[in-house]
Amino acid sequence: MKKIAMTTPLVEMDGDEMTRIIWQLIKDELLHPFIDLKTEYYDLGLEHRNETDDRVTIEAAEATKRLGVAVKCATITPNAARVDEYHLKKMWKSPNGTIRAALDGTVFRTPIQVAGIEPCVRNWKKPITIARHAYGDVYKNTEIRVSGPGKVELVYTKADGSEVRELIHDFDGAGVVQGIHNTDASIESFARSCFEYALSTKQDIWFATKDTISKIYDHRFKDIFQDIYDREYAPRFDEAGIEYFYTLIDDAVARVMKAEGGFIWACKNYDGDVMSDMVSSAFGSLAMMTSVLVSPSGVYEYEAAHGTVQRHYYKHLKGEETSTNSVATIFAWTGALRKRGELDNLPELAEFADRLEHATLATIESGEMTGDLARITTLPNPKTLSTKDFILSIAQRLK
């Protein structure tokens, strides 16, 4: 069989624990036999991040800017326990945080739908993608516990020294107060990432805030989105046959429950945090959720939404059999290969991505799946396969 050729390499970011095992299996069984795989390899496994003082993460992010498309394995974000476990020089930052900061991107999360894993919401027929703004608001807040009577004010000291003051509250007893912010630059790149992603996936995009109550803060988000849409995107949306519309967050929540899916829902940071958990669990499972970071300049980084599945890895290390779901990691690869195929005008590569996704879903639909899905499927008599056998079964179908 002739292997499919690639022209530009993908940026490949390897990772940790169970997902690192899955990563290698996917390459050996599902990619190398069919593609002349070209990647620029970066080992983001925790040991190598520690050896390189985390320079490898920055280099991988720089390579992504240069080459345009990356695929990333789940990685450990170190905490105190990991510092001991891996004898780390320091508690390195979250690689996803580092990459997001370098690419200035927005994260899009989409459930992978398959017959036999049914959404709780009956009328959801197509996936709903959540686009979450990943900067500011309550995630970068400043808070004060007010101990008793007194005045709290917002003070903006301009560069020239002049001041703008607004009374927050004149307390006559104890209470709490919170200051939050965002920047036009961050909101603008959020808006551009959303519009670019809508165009690239040919889906409508909704955006919603609470601008009726937050007449300056949330209103700024609404205005920036509208302004960028009108100036830069309206004709391209018309041409693509897709729509942008803004509505109040309450209205969006109500509409989402009645919709059939197939659109992108752009959310402010807090709304995106909360709503993506709701949407992913209502669709079935975190192990069936793709995630892509899109920068406003049109650079893409694909990954699974779940972590390194530590509990399964420790079982694997003890020599016990595991049944870890590789679907989201497979779809990270297919997402990246398809995008590379589109950008490099290699229809065969994009078609291969389609076929691999199809073979993966057909395997589940035939009743062969990993334990997490076997527990929730509506299919009769599901067969639970091990981590490796599930991937081998997909490979069989692909051949």
Residues that bind ligand NAP (CB under 6 A): 74-77, 96, 286-287, 303, 306-311, 324-325, 372
CA angle 76, 79, 85 (to 5 degrees): 75
Q: 28: which residues sit within 8 A by CB, 6+ positions away?
A: none
Residues facing residue 289 across a β-bridge? 111
- Contact predicate 394/366, CB 8 Å: no
Site size toward Mg ion, by CB under 5 A: 2
Q: Which is nearer to Mg ion, 184 or 277 (CB)?
A: 277
Distance of closest approach, residue 23 Cβ to ligand NAP, in angstroms: 12
Question: Using CB under 5 A, which residues numbered 327 to 346 contact Mg ion?
Answer: none
Q: Which is nearer to Mg ion, 46 or 134 (CB)?
A: 134
Q: Which is nearer to ligand NAP, 31 or 374 (CB)?
A: 374
**What is the CB-side half-sphere exposure of residue 30 using CA atoms within 13 A?**
32
Q: Which is nearer to Mg ion, 287 or 349 (CB)?
A: 287
Stretch that binds Mg ion, among 23-31, 205-213, 273-281, 362-370 (CB under 5 A): 273-281
Stretch that binds Mg ion, among 102-110, 153-161, 270-278, 369-377 (CB under 5 A): 270-278
Q: Return d(Cα 9, Cα 125) in angstroms, integer.
A: 35
Strands (DSSP E) along 220-297, which ranges? Answer: 244-248, 263-267, 289-294
377: tokens are 């499927």
Distance of closest approach, residue 111 Cβ to Mg ion, in angstroms: 15
Name the closest residue to ligand NAP (Cβ): 307
Name the closest residue to Mg ion (Cβ): 273
Closest residue by Cα to residue 307 from 46, 58, 39: 46
Distance of closest approach, residue 361 Cβ to Mg ion, in angstroms: 26
Q: Choose the contact partner of 325 out of ligand NAP, Mg ion, none; CB within 5 to 8 A by kind.
A: ligand NAP
DSSP 42-106: EE-SHHHHHHTTTHHHHHHHHHHHHHSEEEE-------HHHHHHTT-SS-PPPHHHHHHHHHT-E
Q: Specify the residue for token string 């390194």.
A: 308
Q: Choose the contact partner of 29 out of Mg ion, ligand NAP, none; CB within 5 to 8 A by kind.
A: none
Distance of closest approach, residue 92 Cβ to ligand NAP, in angstroms: 11
Considering only residues 47, 53, 277, 351, which one is a binding residue for Mg ion as defined by CB under 5 A? 277
CA angle 253, 258, 264 (to 5 degrees): 60
Q: 205: which residues sit within 8 A by CB, 6+ positions away?
A: 131, 194, 195, 197, 198, 242, 243, 244, 245, 263, 264, 265, 266
Q: Which is nearer to ligand NAP, 137 or 303 (CB)?
A: 303
Q: 362: which residues sit within 8 A by CB, 6+ positions away?
A: 397
Stretch that binds Mg ion, among 59-67, 265-273, 326-334, 371-379 (CB under 5 A): 265-273
Does 273 interact with Mg ion (rule: CB under 5 A)?
A: yes
Distance of closest approach, residue 66 Cβ to ligand NAP, in angstroms: 22
Q: Which is nearer to ligand NAP, 306 or 339 (CB)?
A: 306
Q: Choose the contact partner of 372 out of Mg ion, ligand NAP, none; CB within 5 to 8 A by kind.
A: ligand NAP
Chain contacts with Mg ion (rule: CB under 5 A): 273, 277
